[in-house]
Structure 1
Amino acid sequence: MLSLKNIFLKQGDFSLSANLTIAEPGVTAVIGPSGGGKSTLLSLIAGFSLPDRGSVSWMDSDLTNLPPGARPVAMLFQDNNLFPHLDSLMNVALGGAPVPRPDAQTLDRALVALGRVGLTGLERRKPAELSGGQQSRIALARLLLTDRPVILMDEPFSALGPAQRREMLALVKELLPEATLLMVTHDPEDARGAERTILVVDGKVAPPCDTKRLFADPPPELDSYLR
């Protein structure tokens, strides 16, 4: 269970407030207009930003003042954060051991992860030799090695076409069924594939709502965003 209680953060002229709990695993979409605070919300959960007041907790354990590396959180970024000079195997292995020379056990786990995302045989390819969809799969394979229960995805598949985005989201659900995933997206169609949706508008973070129910009867803020 991921909880944000009485969160308030001010950055210059912008402020963000949140009170929410995500009690079940699965995908929670985070949507809303640009500049509303979606990425800031992920940054707070990851520990890259600290709130002026309030708390962030996971399974009733307070994370608020923990550094990012000490949190049970992993991130999947828009550009995948792959190292261009490393091959696929080494990029994935960094998820299990962020060291220049991973041990044999970590490399074996990386090979298994590559197989799970359908990239067996591409272990020695560097990012520039892979398609956008394959690069996204490399980043997802690396996530499997982090073994973190909370996954934050900041528009991870925005560079892909609609069919590939649906394919990647389905793969995320298949490979990480027990994880709590928050996915920032600008595309309402992507959000429709999530179990829950959080609407973020002008720094105000709404509690998660069942996605089908929300889109069937959208509040004015969402209705204007969908137009």
Structure 2
Amino acid sequence: MPKIRLSGLILTLALFAQLAESATLIDDFTNFQHATNSTNGPFSVASTGLSNLQRTLTATPLPRTGSTSVVVEEGLLTVGNSSRSTGTASIFYSFDAVDFTTFASALLLTTESSDAAYQIQMIANGTSILSFQNLASVAIGSPSTTRFDFSQFSNPTAFKHLSSLELKLRGTNAAWDADFSNLSTVPEPSVTALLVIGAMGIFSGRKQKAVTV
């Protein structure tokens, strides 16, 4: 096979793989929003791969005499608690219903930093629950990305017609603070496999044709 054809096929294969691995962005936290011991929203989010995404922030201190804040700004979701609060931050999204299972198998959230261990819960469509997960502290400059599979939720079929998603974040110690970024989906593995197999089939067919000519 001429080198130019082989190199072109390799480029095509790389492009297929890149497209298959591209995640759907839910929120990159660039649109400013803030709540302290209160609720703010719904707020229209521009930087998203979903249609008509609305975001509502709720900061709930514990005990009530403490202070909890949640801020979205410059690519970060920041949760902050006073020395007397182990409060919870809620980030609630509503959007046009979509079948997530056609292009994804899980959700991804990146923790940029956390000065203590913390917990996260997710709720899909208000009823399908991912129980609170315990996550370790994260040092500044060493971000950690956590995967949450649809199968971990109490009713995974909710993702076939998903129109809302809520994240709840809380610290295990008072004065807990953390920064998060890039809430997105994980591509469905079968999509990647089909594209790669298809591209390899093209390569095999062309190679066989070149040998028999």
TM-score by length of 1: 0.29
Q: Which has the higher strand share?
A: 2
Higher-Rg structure is 2
Q: Which has the higher helix share?
A: 1
TM-score by length of 2: 0.30
